């Protein structure tokens, strides 16, 4: 079972929130197995924390990893086995592996002990995935969302597809240990989004914290760029990095900022909102690289500097989509190469602002557009250094694809399952 931690929460021994309602919002505080639970003790949480993501282990390994005495370790493991949380495996000799002397008992935290749910609720799309504790997908649903839907219609559509995904997975509702949903809006600590001048944020996040509260012991609503940052830190180009920006760069820019190992949120969840680029000369809007490449290509054709019978001009009637322009540049078209150069200069200004604001070591360009964006990144690297007084961050291409928000939601849900959902399950089983 792979280990997964979200960058905005420090690793901690697993525990359970106080008995009662689910933990709802955008942050989760680690807790411990309640002292009131019969037979519970801190050693259970320490062994659980060691076992998470470990695969098969022996009591000796758990003793060293959890910093417990041998007798305490064995007693905790036996309690967890009796509760059906940890399973005992065949010993090395029974499993066909040679073992001199008395074979050691082996144990494992089973991946199918519970599951987590992740959602990517964008403006026009919804992705839902259910995974076990080893991150193995059990069900996946993708659907279009009508941007003209009312809040009520959007809520109903999300519930419909969420229920379909869980039904397909075969996971009982009471085995869901955590849920995380990503939305295209800033998210406050209680899971709500602030008012937007045209109502976009309230529609994109239609009260999901309240709507989904009963689906898991812990429910988290997160900004999509924050989840992109979580994914990069857990699985991608920021593994082991404490200072980086995950820059969602497709249709509109959004930034997940990690400083000193912590994802930044702000009073209203607005850290990384890119409306600031409306006021930056040479950037002038929060439009992402997709619309920007299209705009630059159109301006080049309108200026008369591009060849009237060139490939870029022939592409115009079909639509100057970013992927098509980038494909022409990759094929050696001179006009498309000029577009790439100017798009790189544009991106360099964006990165310079982020570099001056957050002082990151890396800026990682994320989303579906990242697959073909390397030539633009090369052009940005060529002109970035003079735009900064600080050392320039490395500009990297994400390799997590269009589903990066879902990946980050899974990482975040698994971290919450580890610190809240699983310990609560243990507490319930010990009470029983």
Tell me the CATH number for domain 1-236+403-432. Answer: 3.30.420.40
Q: What is the pTM of this model?
A: 0.89
Q: What 3-state DSSP class applies to 117?
A: strand
Given a cut of 70, whether residue 54 has pLDDT beyond it is yes
Which of 424, 417, 387, 322 shows the shortest CA–CA distance to 118? Answer: 417
Q: For residues 52-85, b (16+ Cβ closer than 10 Å) or e, as one string?
A: bbbeebbbebbbebbebeeebbbbbbebbeebeb
| pLDDT of the residue at 30 | 39
Distance CA 161, CA 145 (A): 11
For the chain, domain boundaries: 1-236+403-432, 244-399
The pLDDT tens digits for 340-380 are 999 999 999 999 999 999 999 999 999 999 999 999 999 99
The yes-or-no answer to whether 1-236+403-432 and 244-399 have a common fold is yes
Domain 244-399 has CATH 2.40.50.100: no
What pLDDT, on the 0 to 100 scale, is given for residue 37?
A: 38
Using the predicted structure, report yes or no on whether residue 160 has a pLDDT greater than 90.
yes
Task: Say which residues have a Cβ less than 8 Å from residue 145's Cβ, sequence separation at least 6.
Answer: 121, 122, 123, 124, 125, 126, 154, 157
CB atoms within 10 A of CB 309: 7
* Rg, the chain, Cα only: 24
- State yes or no: pLDDT of 38 exceeds 70: no
Q: What is the pLDDT of residues 233-242, one digit of tens each?
A: 999 999 999 9
pLDDT at 197: 84
Question: Can you count the helices (H) and strands (E) in the chain?
Answer: 14, 14
Q: What is the pLDDT of residues 77-122, one digit of tens each?
A: 999 999 999 999 987 555 555 555 567 899 999 999 999 999 999 9
Q: Report the side by side order of strands in the sheet with 218-223.
A: 23-25, 218-223, 176-183, 115-121, 125-132, 137-144
Pairwise CA distance, residues 35 & 16, whole Å: 10
């Amino acid at each position: 079972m792979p280990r997964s931690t979200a960058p905005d929460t420090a690793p901690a021994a697993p525990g359970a929130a106080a008995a009662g309602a689910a933990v709802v919002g955008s942050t989760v505080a680690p807790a411990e197995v309640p002292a009131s639970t019969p037979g519970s003790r801190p050693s259970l949480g320490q062994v659980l924390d060691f076992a998470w993501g470990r695969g098969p282990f022996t009591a000796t390994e758990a003793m060293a990893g959890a910093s417990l005495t041998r007798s305490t370790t064995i007693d905790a493991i036996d309690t967890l086995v009796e509760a059906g949380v940890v399973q005992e495996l065949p010993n090395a000799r029974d499993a066909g592996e040679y073992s001199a002397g008395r074979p050691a008992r082996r144990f494992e935290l089973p991946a199918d002990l519970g599951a987590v749910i992740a959602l990517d609720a964008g403006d026009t799309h919804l992705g839902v995935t259910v995974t076990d504790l080893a991150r193995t997908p059990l069900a996946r649903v993708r659907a279009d969302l009508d941007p003209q839907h009312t809040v009520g219609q959007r809520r109903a559509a999300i519930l419909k597809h969420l229920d379909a995904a869980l039904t397909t997975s075969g996971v009982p509702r009471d085995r869901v240990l955590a849920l995380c949903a990503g939305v295209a809006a800033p998210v406050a600590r209680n899971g709500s989004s602030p008012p937007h001048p045209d109502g976009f944020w309230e529609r994109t996040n239609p009260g999901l914290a309240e709507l989904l509260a009963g689906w898991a012991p812990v429910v988290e609503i997160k900004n999509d760029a924050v989840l992109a940052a979580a994914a990069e830190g857990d699985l991608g180009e920021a593994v082991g990095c404490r200072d980086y920006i995950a820059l969602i760069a497709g249709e509109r820019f959004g930034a997940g900022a990690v400083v000193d190992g912590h994802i930044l949120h702000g009073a209203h969840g607005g850290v990384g909102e890119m409306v600031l680029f409306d006021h930056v000369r040479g950037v002038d809007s929060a439009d992402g690289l997709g619309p920007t490449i299209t705009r630059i290509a159109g301006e080049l054709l309108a200026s008369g500097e591009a060849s009237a019978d060139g490939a870029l001009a022939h592409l115009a009637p079909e639509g100057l989509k970013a992927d098509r322009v980038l494909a022409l540049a990759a094929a050696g078209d001179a006009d498309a190469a000029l577009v790439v150069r100017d798009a790189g200069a544009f991106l360099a200004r964006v990165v310079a602002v982020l570099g001056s604001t957050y002082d990151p070591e890396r800026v990682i360009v994320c989303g579906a557009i990242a697959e073909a964006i390397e030539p633009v990144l090369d052009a940005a690297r060529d002109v970035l250094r003079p735009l900064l007084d600080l050392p320039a961050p490395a500009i990297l291409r994400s390799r997590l694809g269009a589903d990066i928000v879902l990946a980050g939601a899974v990482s975040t849900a698994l971290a919450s399952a580890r610190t809240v959902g699983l310990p609560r399950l243990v507490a319930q089983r010990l009470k029983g």
